[in-house]
Amino acid sequence: TVSVLLEELLSRKAEQGRVAIVLFDVHGEYKGFGDDKSPFRKYVNVFPGGLVQFATSSMSARQFAIYEPQITTAQTRDLSKVLSKFYHEKVKQGESYVINDIIEELENSEQMNPRSKEALIGWLYTLNNTRLFGSAENPDLKNILEPGKITIFDLSDFTSIKLKQMMVNYILFRIFNMRKKNEVPPTTVILEESHQFCPEARLDQAISKSIIETIAREGRKFFISLVLVSQRPVKLSTTVLSQCNTHVIMRILNPYDLDYIGRSSEGIDRSTMNSITSLGVGEAIVVGNAVNHPIFVKVRKRKISTLETRSLEESAKSFDS
């Protein structure tokens, strides 16, 4: 279904209105859109998650603190003083800096509480070891977001949910702020396995949850569309799910997920609920603002043939050949 949605978005003409598209691909399922044989190749940029870099010098102390929920108010304040100093001494002069520069500045400080300083420096070393923080942003989001084109962030090489959440948080924070200033086109963000990034859990266990909830609440004012894709809706943030104007519901068998959908989706009655368990392949129920009442739809087959969809048997045969 997501593949078909992408095909439709990428096929739109300028006179129909085109958006920039950002897709977070957790399992590497959509890389085929950028394949040489793909009819959409010229509209696609597949970016490996391992090459993502945050622009350290563009981040505030509060942004840094999101990545370490245990950081104290005093430590955040001390970090903010260093960043403010660097802003006036470096950024205003057209220079950048990295985490090692921040660490060095803190180590030379004689005004901080020694224990607090030691903890803050240790935490910054941990952040530096993620290799996500650099002197410049990569990719340059302001230049890469174009109408009618898609940027696919391939996160399939990452097993750490925290690292994936950090990337999603940084990228969405940047997109949200750039859209508020109209620096990038209207954008549609697609989050595969979205329960990994905005779960019904405490914020200190879900780094990317806050910015996703912010976009869910306020994004439409700035023309940022959010598409959440999940096979476990019961694990999704209730705040985010309640802000989704339209739900496209495919076959669900898990009674907990089914009950959750029934309670969170307006317009679903008992008869519709009973139909969800019997939907066939490619069939869905659409409810919400996009339709006047729940409707059953049949999703067409995708046109693109470069996406890899092998069964377990086929994968086993390929490995053993």
pLDDT tens, residue by residue, 292-302 = 888 999 999 98
pLDDT of residue 9: 96
Q: Do the bridges between strand 295-298 and strand 283-288 make them parallel or antiparallel, or are there none, so unpaired?
A: antiparallel
Inter-residue contact 255 to 249 (CB < 8 Å): no
Domains along the chain? 2-52+142-246 (3.40.50.300), 54-134 (no CATH)
pLDDT of residue 68: 87
> What is the gyration radius of the CA atoms in the chain, in angstroms?
22
Q: How far is it, in rounded angstroms, from Cα 83 to Cα 184?
A: 26
Q: How far is it, in rounded angstroms, from Cα 208 to Cα 308?
A: 28
Amino acid (one-letter) located at 271:
S
Q: What are 144-196's pLDDT values in tens digits?
A: 999 999 999 999 999 999 999 999 999 999 999 999 999 999 999 999 999 99
Q: Tell whether the model's pLDDT for residue 5 goes beyond 80.
A: yes
Q: What are 248-274's pLDDT values in tens digits?
A: 999 988 888 888 888 877 777 888 888
Residue in this structure with the two tokens 């950090």, named with its chain if needed = 166
CA 223 to chain centre: 16
- Quick one: CA torsion of 249, 250, 253, 258, rounded to 10 degrees? 0
Inter-residue contact 198 to 228 (CB < 8 Å): yes
Which residues share a beta bridge with 249?
A: 285
pTM (2 decimals)?
0.91
pLDDT of residue 132: 97
pLDDT of residue 116: 87
Peptide bond into 39 cis (omega under 30): no
Amino acid (one-letter) located at 281:
V
pLDDT of residue 140: 96
Burial 102-119 (b: 16+ CB within 10 A, else e): bbebbeeeeebeeeebeb
Q: How far is it, in rounded angstroms, from Cα 18 to Cα 120?
A: 45
Closest CA to 181 of 126, 212, 224, 144: 224
Higher pLDDT, 306 or 55: 55
Inter-residue contact 12 to 178 (CB < 8 Å): no
Q: 58-62, 111-115, 306-310, 314-318 — which is least confidently predicted?
A: 306-310
Mean pLDDT of the chain: 91
Q: Tell whether the model's pLDDT for residue 211 goes beyond 90.
A: yes
